[in-house]
C-alpha cells in the first residue's frame, strides 16, 4: 500500500457555520465549499492546508455516525484520513494482514473521493480513513 500524505483531518461539529468562523476568520484558512453526503447523513466543509485539509462534519440526522459521535463524545477530532494511491490495493493488503475494516469495499465520500474506514480497535482507538482521489475536486 502506498500512503501519499494526510488527506484531511475530520472534525465533528454541532454546526458548520460556528466552526467555520474559527477556521476561516481566526486561522485564515480558505473555505473550499460545503457538500452534503446523503449516504453518510453528513454535511462537510473543507479548509485546505498545503496538501491536506481540515474537514468539518455536521450531522444531518441525529442517528448518523457523526450524530452518534457528537452525542457520545461531543465536538472534536473525528478521524484522520490518509490519501492512498490505490484504495482497492490498500484494502486487499489490509484484509490479507487480518486487519478489521469498517468498509470492506470503497464507498463514495465528499468531493467524489473513494473512501474506506479501518476499525478503531485496530488503530489504538483512532478512526482512520483511507481516501483515493483522482485529482483536486471542486466543491460547492
Query: What CATH number is associated with residue 90?
Result: 3.10.180.10
- Distance of alpha carbon 138 from alpha carbon 5, whole angstroms: 19
pLDDT at position 140 is 36
42 found inside a domain: yes
- Distance of alpha carbon 140 from alpha carbon 21, whole angstroms: 18
Question: The whole model's pTM is what?
Answer: 0.90
137 found inside a domain: no
**Contacts of the segment 67-70: beta carbons below 8 A, 24+ positions apart:** 67/41, 69/12, 70/12, 70/14
Decide if 86 contacts 94 (C-beta within 8 A).
no
118 found inside a domain: yes
Q: Tell me which residue range forms the domain holding 26.
A: 3-132
pLDDT at position 135 is 55
16 found inside a domain: yes
pLDDT at position 134 is 82
Question: For cell 483531518, what's the residue?
Answer: 9
Instruction: Tally the domains of the chain.
Output: 1
Instruction: State the cell numbers at 80.
Output: 484522520
Closest CA to 108 of 60, 38, 34: 38
Q: Are strands 42-49 and 128-132 parallel, antiparallel or unpaired?
A: unpaired
Compute the radius of gyration of the chain from its Cα atoms: 15
139 found inside a domain: no
Tens of pLDDT, residue by residue, the chain (140 residues): 999 999 999 999 999 999 999 999 999 999 999 999 998 999 999 999 999 999 999 999 999 999 999 999 999 999 999 999 999 999 999 999 999 999 999 999 998 999 999 999 999 999 999 999 985 444 43
123 found inside a domain: yes
81 found inside a domain: yes
- Distance of alpha carbon 59 from alpha carbon 93, whole angstroms: 32
119 found inside a domain: yes
**Of all helices (H) and strands (E), which one includes residue 77?**
strand 76-84
Amino acid at each position: 500500500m502506498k500512503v501519499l500524505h494526510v488527506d484531511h483531518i475530520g472534525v465533528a461539529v454541532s454546526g458548520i457555520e460556528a466552526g467555520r468562523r474559527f477556521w476561516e476568520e481566526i486561522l485564515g484558512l480558505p473555505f473550499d465549499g460545503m457538500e452534503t453526503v446523503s449516504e453518510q447523513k453528513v454535511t462537510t466543509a473543507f479548509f485546505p492546508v498545503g496538501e491536506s485539509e481540515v474537514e468539518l462534519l455536521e450531522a444531518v440526522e441525529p442517528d448518523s455516525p457523526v450524530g452518534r459521535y457528537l452525542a457520545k463524545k461531543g465536538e472534536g477530532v473525528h478521524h484522520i484520513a490518509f490519501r492512498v494511491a490505490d484504495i482497492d490495493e490498500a484494502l486487499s493488503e489490509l484484509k490479507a494482514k487480518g486487519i478489521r475494516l469498517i468498509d470492506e469495499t470503497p464507498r463514495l465520500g465528499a468531493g467524489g473521493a473513494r473512501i474506506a474506514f479501518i476499525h478503531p480497535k485496530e488503530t489504538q482507538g483512532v478512526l482512520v480513513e483511507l481516501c483515493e482521489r483522482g485529482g483536486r475536486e471542486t466543491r460547492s
